[in-house]
Amino acid sequence: MSDIPPKASYTRSTYLLIGVLAAGLVLIAIVGLTALRSSTQTNNGNSIVENASVYTGTSYDPPIQLDDFTLPANTGAMLSLNDLRGRYVLLFFGFTHCPDVCPLTLAEFKRVKALLGDAAQNVAFLFISVDSPRDTPQVIADYLARFDADFIGMAGDDETLQRIGSQYNLFYERPTNADPQAGYAVNHTGRSYVIDPVGQLRISYSYGTGAEIIAAGIQELMQNAQ
């Protein structure tokens, strides 16, 4: 007598096994996607909600009320974050000798401004240097002029940056005893930050996020505020 089960019984068993495996894969996918959409962490008591893709931004709920600070600006005068109240702020921390991340991000800022059209007049595009030994207000002014004459720059000092840094999860590191006359790189946070007109951090975007996505995020904030 053959040990092979009848054909009909063999087929039903196979289909049952395939069905169980398929259901398991679907369940794993659903659980993974749900976890990705709802993953949270704590930042100074605020919930950070990560969207399904890092390229759609990180929204802060509730928004983080940012501390004010004052730094020398590319205009030659002192400027405070609170001086920009009434406008949205798109902020990036970097340095003028940066070979890639900074110029590419500022190029995206220029595209964001173009995409916003007339609404761009309600947005301040802000660059804050983390390289105080080399980036004077005049150096920053000359650098930003390559991208857009309306961009605002600030010369950050270590004391101020360390005081406000935790609110942005800011990281930067220069070589010890770096010589301003010598070439050196600065490791730094590559995120961009959207601040609303009352000084609250609302969204941040990872390096590499396209201008279309950032512009859409700012437009959505504007529409929700109406």
Residue range 29-51, pLDDT digits in tens: 433 443 333 333 333 333 333 34
- Are 13 and 34 found together in one domain? yes
Q: What is the pLDDT of residue 195?
A: 98
Phi, psi of 87 (to 5 degrees): -125, 155
- Are 137 and 201 found together in one domain? yes
Higher pLDDT, 153 or 17: 153
Q: From CA 128, how far away is CA 79, in angstroms rounded?
A: 11
**Number of structural domains in the chain:** 2
- Are 69 and 3 found together in one domain? no
Radius of gyration of the chain (CA): 24
Residues 100-155: tens digit of each pLDDT? 999 999 999 999 999 999 999 999 999 999 999 999 999 999 999 999 999 999 99
For the chain, the average pLDDT equals 83
Q: Please report, rounded to a whole number, the percentage of residues in the chain having pLDDT higher than 70.
A: 76
We report the CATH number of the domain holding residue 87 as 3.40.30.10
Residues 48-63: tens digit of each pLDDT? 333 434 357 899 999 9
